[in-house]
Amino acid sequence: MDIIYINDLRIEAVIGVYAWERQLKQVLIFDLELGTDIRKAALTDSVADTLNYKEVAKRVMAFGTDSRYQLVESLAEAVAELILKEFDTPWLRLRLNKQGAVRGVRDVGVIIERGRREEAWHGSM
């Protein structure tokens, strides 16, 4: 499997459990690794034959900006599900960073890996 990646995708979103957090937008940083097969695109040299990272980034930005989750865990899971379904990728790794969420700590967040169930099942045979 090949990987197309998007690093340091910054989105302003309302996220958090405290009342003051619900009143403002905070910067969230996404790093994405998307499993795919790039061989056809490499042969044709056509964006139509690959996982279009620009479209993925635009969709994640739109979704994240409009979201109102309390937990980064919930937002990460929703974004992973969206990418798996809308972009037909069999696997992804997503890192969601909420910088400055804890005093004295630069980075805090979650890293998740998800795959389509049927892909995971077929791979285990």
Which CATH number characterizes residue 100's domain? 3.30.1130.10
Confidence at residue 117, expressed as pLDDT on a 0 to 100 scale: 67
Q: What is the mean pLDDT of residues 46-52?
A: 96
State the residue range of the domain holding 46: 2-123
Confidence at residue 121, expressed as pLDDT on a 0 to 100 scale: 37
Of 40, 54, 85, 98, catalytic:
98
Domain count, the chain: 1
Q: Give me 98's structure tokens.
A: 């909420």
Confidence at residue 105, expressed as pLDDT on a 0 to 100 scale: 83
Give the span between the Cα atoms of 13 and 8, in whole angstroms: 15
Between the CA of residue 41 and those of 6, 20, 88, 93, 119, what are the distances in Å?
18, 47, 15, 22, 21
- Per residue in 72-115, pLDDT (tens digit) is 999 999 999 999 999 999 999 999 999 877 788 888 999 999 99
Q: How many CB atoms lie within 10 A of CB 108?
A: 13
Q: Clarify whether 98 is annotated catalytic.
A: yes
Q: What is the DSSP letter of 1?
A: -
Q: What is the DSSP letter of 75?
A: H
